[in-house]
Copies of this chain bind each other. A is one copy, B any other.
C-alpha cells in the first residue's frame, strides 16, 4: 500500500477542495492509504468513512499570506502541516501532499523530515506545462539561492532517478540552463556544473540549454541554481499571464473578434488548459527522506488529486531508496 499524509488545511481553497481531491484520489487508486490531518468535523462531513482513510484532528493552519511561515512552523507543533510532516518523519507515512505555502513546506520538510544522509541541499522541482508531448522538470526553483556546483550535480541525479522511476522513461536527458549553448558559456558556476554533469555516470547530459528553448528542448530535466530557476519559472508565468490578457484584449476589441470567439471558444479553452498547472500536480521537494509534493496554493479538487497521484507514483517507483543507493555509490567513488 502507498501511505500518504494529507495536509487538509493548506491551500487557498482548503479544506473543501483538498477534501474533494482526497475523495477523487481514494476512488481512483485502490492502493492508496491516506491519513488526513485537519479539522475532524469538516473532514467527517465531506469524506465518507473508508478503511483506507484515517483522520488526525489538526485544525490549525498557516495563513497562505503568512510573511514568516518558518517561524510559525518552528513555534507551532499543532499545525496540520507540521503534524503531517511528523508522520513522514516517523515513517507512518511514505510521503505528504500539501497545498500550503511554499517556503513553509520546504523549511518544514527540512527541519522535520530532514535531508537524506549524503544529500547536501534540498531542491524544489515543479513540472513545466506539457509542450511537444513532454512534461519537463525544472529545478531548483527556490530552495537555494546560493549553491555549490556539486550540489547542483546531486540535484540532477535526484531528478534523473525521479523522472525515470515515475515515467519509466530510461535515461532522461538533462540540460543545464545557460545563456548560450556552447560549452564554456555562463558564469564560473555553469562551467563547473557542465564538467560535473559531463563526467557523471548517473546523468544523461545533453549540454547547455538557453531558456528560449524551455518548452521545446528535447531535454526532460532542466537544471540550475535556485535563484536562476525561480526567475525562469516566474518569467514563464508572467509572460503567459501577460499574453493571455493581450489575447483577450485583442479578441474583445471588435465584433469580428467576438464572433470568432463564439466559434473557437472550445479551442481557446483547450489552449488555456494547456498552461494550467492542474494536470501536472505539484512541485516535489527533492533531498528529504520522504516524498513531499507541494501542490499549487490555488489547487482545486482535481489538481490536488493529481498531486496525490504524483506522490503515489514516486513512492511506487521507490525513488528515495534508489537515490540513497546512488548517494552511497557516489561517496565511494
* Residue positions of A touching B, CB distance < 8 A: 67, 131, 142, 145-146, 177, 179, 182, 186-188, 210-216, 226-228, 230-232, 234-243, 245-247, 250-251, 253-254, 256-257, 259-268, 270-271, 274-275
Closest A-B pairs by Cβ, 6 of them: A260-B264, A260-B263, A215-B242, A212-B238, A235-B235, A257-B267
CB-CB under 8 A from A231, the residues of chain B are 177, 179, 211, 228, 231-232, 235
In the complex, the chain B residue whose C-beta lies closest to that of A185 is B145
**10 residue pairs from A and B, CB less than 8 Å apart:** A142-B179, A145-B186, A210-B234, A213-B238, A215-B239, A228-B228, A236-B238, A239-B240, A257-B264, A264-B264
A271 touches B256 (CB 8 A): no
Known contacts A214-B239, A236-B235, A256-B264; A250 and B227 CB within 8 A of each other: no
A162 CB to closest chain B CB, in angstroms?
A: 23
A250 touches B235 (CB 8 A): no
In the complex, the chain B residue whose C-beta lies closest to that of A268 is B250
Known contacts A146-B188, A242-B216, A243-B240; A251 and B267 CB within 8 A of each other: yes
CB-CB under 8 A from A67, the residues of chain B are 182
A271 touches B247 (CB 8 A): yes
In the complex, the chain B residue whose C-beta lies closest to that of A239 is B239
B274 touches A246 (CB 8 A): yes
Known contacts A187-B146, A238-B216, A260-B261; A253 and B230 CB within 8 A of each other: no
Alpha-carbon gap, A230 to B254, bound state (A) = 37
CB-CB under 8 A from A256, the residues of chain B are 263-264, 266-267
> A211-B234, A259-B263 given. 16 additional CB < 8 A pairs?
A67-B182, A177-B231, A179-B230, A210-B238, A212-B234, A214-B239, A215-B238, A215-B241, A216-B242, A227-B228, A235-B236, A239-B239, A239-B243, A250-B270, A259-B264, A260-B264
Chain copies in complex? 2
A271 touches B254 (CB 8 A): no
A12 CB to closest chain B CB, in angstroms?
A: 16
In the complex, the chain B residue whose C-beta lies closest to that of A270 is B250
CB-CB under 8 A from A263, the residues of chain B are 256-257, 259-260, 263
Known contacts A242-B214, A260-B264; A227 and B179 CB within 8 A of each other: yes
Alpha-carbon gap, A267 to B232, bound state (A) = 29
In the complex, the chain B residue whose C-beta lies closest to that of A243 is B243
Alpha-carbon gap, A245 to B212, bound state (A) = 13
Known contacts A145-B179, A145-B187, A146-B187; A235 and B254 CB within 8 A of each other: no
A275 touches B235 (CB 8 A): no
In the complex, the chain B residue whose C-beta lies closest to that of A131 is B242
A212 touches B186 (CB 8 A): no
Alpha-carbon gap, A263 to B131, bound state (A) = 27
CB-CB under 8 A from A188, the residues of chain B are 146
Alpha-carbon gap, A212 to B142, bound state (A) = 14
A213 CB to closest chain B CB, in angstroms?
A: 6
Alpha-carbon gap, A250 to B212, bound state (A) = 21
Known contacts A187-B146, A188-B146; A241 and B266 CB within 8 A of each other: no
- Of A188, A241, A242, most B-chain CB atoms within 10 Å: A242
